[in-house]
Structures are given as C-alpha cells and as structure tokens.
Amino acid sequence: MIKPGRIWNYFFKDKISGFGFLVVLFILLFGIFAPIISPHDPYTQILDFRNKPPGFTGEVISYRLEPDLPVYTTAVKSVTVHKNTVKYLDTIDRTFEIEKKMLNGKDRTEWNKKIRFYLGSDNFGRDILSRLLYGIRISLLVGFCASTISLIVGVFLGALAGYYGGLIETCIMRVTDIMFGFPLLLFLIGITAAFEPSLTVVFFAIGFVSWPGMARITRGQVKQTQENEFVKVTEVLGFGKSRMLWKHIVPNSLTPIVVMYTLSISSAIMAEASLSFLGLGAQPPIPSLGAMINSGIDFIKISPWISIAPGFVIASIVIGFNMLGDDLKSTADPLMKK
C-alpha cells in the first residue's frame, strides 16, 4: 500500500521526482480555474483579427443587432460616443453608426475593450490562450473519466478472474486477449467511427479499450496477495468470499493499480488528442487541443502558432502524468529506483 507520508517524503527529498507532481498540480489548477484566468471567451470570434501573431493587441466593440441575436464582436480603429449613438471606424476605415441600446453592457469598459492575444489568434480570430486553458479542462475531463471507467471495469473483472479462477478467469482473460489484438488507436477509430462523433463517445470508447490492461494487472496482483498470511487468517476466520476479495485482497493489491491508473490518464489524454486531430473526437467549436492542432495545419506557413501552442500543452500534460506515474512506481517499489 502507498502511504501518503511516504509519497510526500519521497517527492520533497528528491527535487527531480517532485517535478511531475508539480506539473500535474499546475495543470489541474489551470484546468479548474480556466474560466477565471482565461483573458477572453474561448468562443468569441473576431473575424478581422484572424491569424494574428502572439502579443497582438487591438480594440474591439461588442453589440447585438437584435436583442435575441448573439453578441457580435468586431475590430475597430477608433470609437466616438454621441448622445444616442456610437460611431466607430472599422479596420478598413469605414464608419459605422449603431444605437447605444444595442451595445453589450452599459459601461464603456464592458462593450469597448482593448484586447491582447498573448499567444496569438486562430483562423477564426479566437484567442488561443483562452482556448488552451479550456482545452486543458477537456483533456483532463477525458483523461479522468475514461481512466476511471477502465479502472472500475478492469479492477472488477481482474479481481474476479484472479480470485475465482477457473472458467470465469478463462473467459475474462480470453476477452482481454481479443482486445489486445487491436492496435489501440485503430480500435478507437473503429469504435468512434461507428457512432456520431462526440466527447461522450470518446469517454466510453477510451474506457472500453483500456480496461484489459487494468484487468491483467489486477488479476496478477490479486493472485499474489492471495498467497499472504493475512488472507489465510481471514480464511480460517470464515469470512465470506466476496468480503475477503473486496475488503482485504483488493485494497492490498492497489499499488500497481494506482500506478497504472496514473499512466492510463496520460494515454487517455493522448488518445483523445489523436482522435480529435482526426476529427473523430470533440466537434467544433469545442476547444479540444487535438482539434486545435488540426485546424492550424492549413495555416502552418502564415500562422504556425495555431498548431504549435496546443501541442506543447498536450506534451506537458502527458509528461506530467507520465513522470508522476514513474515516481509512484519507484516509490511503491524502492528497489526499482536507480
């Protein structure tokens, strides 16, 4: 069993090992607080500011043409306020006049903003930084949900197979053999292609293809734990089989399962990015990191930042979880630390 105190000691004794933990912590914070820290709305399109480089600043006003229409944000060069109307000069020096009641908000700071694209803007004039922060949320959501599905299914079936053996074990293990017969991403492509593409399909597809690994590890672990003295004691005490399995054997087999769970989060995030890149994951305009990379390909010569930034973010998330998993592995098994 991993003891929290031991992990703490381990991380803070060895600076390099703590790095993965810190990266994951930061990414979690970025994901959780995305709505607060992101400078702009990730969906707002400013068509005059398409493919702008990092650091670009500009002025915009936002208004509604009709009360029930969505807010329209447009780039301006200058704005003059009159009694009932507002006049603005657009980026190619055309003058427009709009009524004050159409403006989005009462205060001028609400409808007339200076905006800065810290990491540039994409091919629809959306702020890349804000989309990245929201993209982290989606990656984490898929990572956690898909891995949790695979954890629940894998541990349940693996424990049954390891504990009861016999026909149950043979059946479950044959199914895992079959699932391992598919190359992972291709299996995912096959599944997601059979449905209307959406994030929900991605959750379940990734969870569905990744439980066999978890089941194999749990089975091996349960078999090993079963050999322990304390299990034999509980057997002598006459505990029920299912109580023994779920209350005594499984909790004592958790260490490699926790490691596997951490590593499976990173592979789920990578899988989601790949599927979204191929157009089989989250659909536009959802800011998924993989889809963002794909949308930048056509503009790679004029605005490479559209594709570059999301790749860095995916790589950092995955590096973080992989390092954390490696650290947990060596904490759990100090002999492996070299």
Partner 1 sequence: MIQYTIKRIFQTIPVLLGVIVITFILMYMIPGDPVVSMVGERYDEQTIKKLRKELKLDDPLPVQFIDYVSNVFQGNFGKSFITGEPVMQALLVKLPNTIILAVTAMVIAIISGLAMGLFASVNQGSFLDKVTMFFALAGISTPVFWMGILFILVFGVHLKWLPPTGFGGVEYIILPAITLGIRSAAYIARLSRAAMIEILEQDYIRTARMKRLPEWKVLFKHGFPNILIPVITLIGTDFGSYLSGAVLTESIFGWPGIGRLALEAILKRDFPVIQGTVLFMAIVFIFVNLFVDICYGFIDPRIRMENKND
List interacting residues with partner 1 (CB under 8 A).
Answer: 16, 174-175, 177-178, 180-187, 189-191, 193-196, 266, 270, 273-274, 277-280, 290, 293-294, 296-297, 300-301, 304, 307-308, 310-311, 314-315, 318-319, 322-323, 326, 338
Q: Which is nearer to partner 1, 58 or 143 (CB)?
A: 143
Q: Which is nearer to partner 1, 61 or 286 (CB)?
A: 286
Q: Which is nearer to partner 1, 86 or 142 (CB)?
A: 142
The CB-of-336 to partner 1 minimum distance in angstroms stands at 9
The CB-of-64 to partner 1 minimum distance in angstroms stands at 36
Q: Which is nearer to partner 1, 260 or 293 (CB)?
A: 293
The CB-of-207 to partner 1 minimum distance in angstroms stands at 16
The CB-of-94 to partner 1 minimum distance in angstroms stands at 35
Q: Can you give the chain as a three-state secondary structure string?
A: CCCHHHHHHHHHHCHHHHHHHHHHHHHHHHHHCHHHHCCCCCCCCCHHHCCCCCCEEEEEEEECCCCCCCCEEEEEEEEEECCCEEEEEECCCCEEEEEHHHECCCCHHHHEEEEEECCCECCCCCEHHHHHHHHHHHHHHHHHHHHHHHHHHHHHHHHHHHHHCHHHHHHHHHHHHHHHCCCHHHHHHHHHHCCCCCHHHHHHHHHHHHHHHHHHHHHHHHHHHHCCHHHHHHHHHCCCHHHHHHHHHCHHHHHHHHHHHHHHHHHHHHHHHHHHHCCCCCCCCCCCHHHHHHHHHHHCCCCCHHHHHHHHHHHHHHHHHHHHHHHHHHHHCHHHCC
Q: Which is nearer to partner 1, 54 or 279 (CB)?
A: 279
The CB-of-48 to partner 1 minimum distance in angstroms stands at 26
